Amino acid sequence: MIFTDILGGFETLLNDQYAIWFVLLASFVGIVFGALPGLTAAAAIAMMLPILIAYNDEIGGLAGLAFLYVIGKSGRYGGSIAAILFNTPGTAASAATMQDGYPMTQSGRAGKALKTATISSAFGDYFGEIVLIFGAVFIATFTRKFGPPENFAIYLMAFIIIGSVVSDSIIKGIISTLFGASIALIGEDTITGQFKMTMGIDELESGMALVPLLIGVFVISEVIIQAEKSAKVKMIDMNARGIDDPTAQYFTWAEFKRCLPLMFRSSIIGSLIGMMPGLGSSVACFVAYGEEKRKAKNKDKWGTGVVEGIAAPESANNAVSGPSMIPLLTLGIPGSTIAAVLIGMFLVNGLQVGPQIFATEPPLFMGGQLISPREFIFGMFAAGLVGIACYALIGYFLAPVIGRVISKLPTQYLYPFIFMISIAASYSSRASIWDVGFALLFGVIGYGMRRTNFSAAAFIIAFVLTASMEEAFRQSMIISDNGLMLFLSFEYQNKFSYAPIFLIIGTAVVVFRAISSQRAKSKAGS
């Protein structure tokens, strides 16, 4: 059944006249954005989202969704180019790659480092995509039975988990979540139609839009930081002379065979971390790097430029990509910022994220074809599988060239250009000048959050989740005879309730995180 669905997904993708081209374009755009120091896939998505939404009817829903989905993957990979060539991680997910990637570049083996990163990223990404496809379909059959109390408990659990794991400080992570949730409550009440917390501003009656927030916290805050640094990307000579190694620019078959078990183990780590809402690639890359270094026979050489030191974090951080979609597709909870943004794209196409997305009815009319939600979602999976191959091919052959071009880009023109694109994108989301003002405001807030260790990711995820959470809460209260006790009861409307289990899991994660954080502090102190 599932293999038929996968083949059907490829058919859906290839029958869409735009989707395949958007996949190819996204592979390239993601690599470039990921490789630009400071800019991430989330920033690229924030700038592209209003344009894709505006053209959604013309290009068909699958093309836009595939574009954003693939940018998330190729952007993660692109970060490794900056880490290896510029000693600056393009994204937080590539921070561990720097430790062995840059020493390899310094010793004239940049080609080998880049090719190792490309192959291990693609390996990890394919692994994660397979976990996503099989895992999501399996879990969705179970979660489809959940009612409002379970949904509210899941949202609350996600809030607690994301808030507690996403930042260095549990309390700051949770405050970031509360802040995002409070902003999301501005606007019209979904049940009574009352206007809430609009501060007397008419433009806020329809709520705060996602795009200005995304642009503010991810793009404008980064532009401010770049303006402060006035930094230029510096790349050392990739073709250093005097290297007596004919394989200096290649990832050899022998090295691949040596790294294969390590890539496999790291992909498992990445996939498991990816399934946890809030824990992203940046955690996975360090866990995999640390674990493989601990196991390695040549651990004293790690950090001086060994291919294993690139293969482990790159497999792990890309293996996060697919499984981070599992909470979204099975529970409606975005596990990452990119997944949070994808909700918007699903909604534009009339699809409510959650387990019902794997249903075969009702059919949707997209890109000139009548397809079921299940076919649509498998079309997205197919786009992911094709996108991985595309970015791997582009990266394998063009990564050094992309790196060279980026190192020559005049940053004093580039970042102002990105700023203006962001401003234009903020305006274009609702054609409102207020949204430009909100983007600027959240740019400053995002800058402050970065400087004081608050989490922008938790803020955005909470913003996206809160409307559904409030709805589930209010619906639960309507059916409850016991008020809030409904969430602690194992039964409602004569059926078993999983709500207390989710609340226990959430509490357990916070307690575990608090204890491990306390232990780490004590260790550092001693």
Partner 1 sequence: MLHENYKTKVEYGVSATVILVGLFFIYQASTIGSSKEMFGPDAMPFALSISTVFGGVWLAYRAFRGKVGAVQAGYGFLESDLKRISWVIGSGAAFILTFYLFGYFLAIILGYTLMLLSFGVRDKVKILVSTLLMAFVFQWLFMGIMRLNDPSGALLDLRPYTNIISGE
Question: What is the rounded CA–CA span in Å between residue 238 and residue 150?
Answer: 55
Q: Which of 420, 501, 514, 515 binds partner 1 (CB under 8 A)?
A: 420
The number of residues that bind partner 1 (CB under 8 A) is 62
Asked whether position 451 contacts partner 1 by CB under 8 A, the answer is yes
Phi and psi, residue 492, nearest 5° = -150, 145
Asked whether position 7 contacts partner 1 by CB under 8 A, the answer is no
Query: What's the number of CA atoms in the CB half-sphere (13 Å) around residue 515?
Result: 5
Question: What is the rounded CA–CA span in Å between residue 330 and residue 345?
Answer: 17
Asked whether position 192 contacts partner 1 by CB under 8 A, the answer is yes
Shortest separation between residue 433's beta carbon and partner 1, angstroms: 6
Asked whether position 514 contacts partner 1 by CB under 8 A, the answer is no
Q: Which stretch binds partner 1 (CB under 8 A): 165-173, 261-269, 311-319, 323-331?
A: 165-173
Asked whether position 470 contacts partner 1 by CB under 8 A, the answer is yes
Asked whether position 515 contacts partner 1 by CB under 8 A, the answer is no
Q: Which stretch binds partner 1 (CB under 8 A): 26-34, 61-69, 184-192, 488-496?
A: 184-192
Question: What is the rounded CA–CA span in Å between residue 303 and residue 405?
Answer: 27
Q: Which stretch binds partner 1 (CB under 8 A): 28-36, 97-105, 373-381, 440-448?
A: 440-448
Residues of this chain, 212-241, that bind partner 1 according to CB under 8 A: 220, 223-224, 227-228, 230
Q: Which of 360, 412, 507, 516 binds partner 1 (CB under 8 A)?
A: 412
Asked whether position 254 contacts partner 1 by CB under 8 A, the answer is no
Q: Do residues 163 and 170 make contact, with C-beta atoms less than 8 angstroms apart?
A: yes
**Of 488, 42, 96, 111, nearest to 284 (Cα)?**
96
Q: Which stretch binds partner 1 (CB under 8 A): 256-264, 379-387, 423-431, 494-502?
A: 423-431
**Of 57, 65, 21, 70, nearest to 367 (Cα)?**
57
Asked whether position 483 contacts partner 1 by CB under 8 A, the answer is yes
Shortest separation between residue 131's beta carbon and partner 1, angstroms: 33
C-alpha 386: how far from its chain's center? Answer: 18
End-to-end Cα spacing for the chain: 57
Q: Which residues does 307 contact at the CB level (< 8 Å), separation at least 6?
A: 100, 104, 112, 113, 116, 251, 255, 258, 259
Does residue 197 come out as left (phi exceeding 0), alpha (psi in the -120 to 50 range) or beta?
left
Question: What is the rounded CA–CA span in Å between residue 102 and residue 108?
Answer: 10
Asked whether position 260 contacts partner 1 by CB under 8 A, the answer is no
Q: Which of 1, 413, 494, 523 binds partner 1 (CB under 8 A)?
A: 413
CB closer to partner 1 out of 268 and 462: 462
Shortest separation between residue 524's beta carbon and partner 1, angstroms: 8
Asked whether position 409 contacts partner 1 by CB under 8 A, the answer is no
Asked whether position 485 contacts partner 1 by CB under 8 A, the answer is no
Q: Which stretch binds partner 1 (CB under 8 A): 6-14, 267-275, 322-330, 443-451?
A: 443-451
Q: Do residues 483 and 477 make contact, with C-beta atoms less than 8 angstroms apart?
A: yes
Q: Which stretch binds partner 1 (CB under 8 A): 47-55, 252-260, 272-280, 353-361?
A: 47-55
Q: Do residues 503 and 487 make contact, with C-beta atoms less than 8 angstroms apart?
A: yes
Q: Which of 206, 428, 488, 500 binds partner 1 (CB under 8 A)?
A: 428
CB closer to partner 1 out of 259 and 423: 423
**Of 451, 371, 340, nearest to 12 (Cα)?**
371
Question: What is the rounded CA–CA span in Å between residue 64 and residue 416?
Answer: 26
Phi and psi, residue 370, nearest 5° = -95, 115
| Angle in degrees, CA 87, 91, 93, rounded to 5 | 100
Q: Which residues does 474 contact at the CB level (< 8 Å), separation at least 6?
A: 191
Asked whether position 14 contacts partner 1 by CB under 8 A, the answer is no
Asked whether position 452 contacts partner 1 by CB under 8 A, the answer is yes
Site residues for partner 1 per CB under 8 A: 51, 54-55, 168, 171-172, 174-175, 178-179, 181-182, 185, 189, 191-192, 194, 196-197, 199, 220, 223-224, 227-228, 230, 411-413, 415-417, 419-420, 423-424, 427-428, 431, 433, 436-437, 439-440, 443-444, 447-448, 450-453, 466, 469-470, 473-474, 477-478, 483, 521, 524
